[in-house]
Structure 1
Amino acid sequence: LETQLICSCSAAIQLLCIGFFPASPLCPTLAVDVNMLDFVNELFVRGAPNNTAWCNALEEFLRQHKYQL
């Protein structure tokens, strides 16, 4: 006999707990990885969408997440 835990949290809260941001607070059908949101934030902080901005944002994102280039 196994004991199973059941979470009474909403789907949105459960998604947040595993690192995804829900597209809606009730009955989300789409969610985005929180790390991807962090990356997109870095990209938009750096200005116009061009190759230099994209590369700089990617390098900063990877540095913050302890990746080494």
Structure 2
Amino acid sequence: MAAETAEMEADRALMASRESVREARENVRMLELEAKEEVRRAKIKEHHAKEFSKRGKLLGSKWPDFVTAVD
């Protein structure tokens, strides 16, 4: 009887550990997806920042001509 009880407890522990591993793997997958999404968003932000910077440089290069013509 004690051996059967021990075996049942071992089976329960095995199933619990398998479930824990399954949950951990799912958690890792979710973290990887979140990280990829963050990288994607960062690249978009970087692209927008570069475009904004380019536009700012163009504006800055035209104003001195205008200001000197008015003076």
TM-score (norm 1): 0.29
Q: Which structure would you say has the larger RCO, counting Cα contacts within 8 Å and 6 or more residues apart? A: 1
* Structure whose residues are more often helix by fraction: 2
TM-score normalized with structure 2 length: 0.28
Q: Would you tell me which structure has more strand in proportion to its own residues?
A: 1
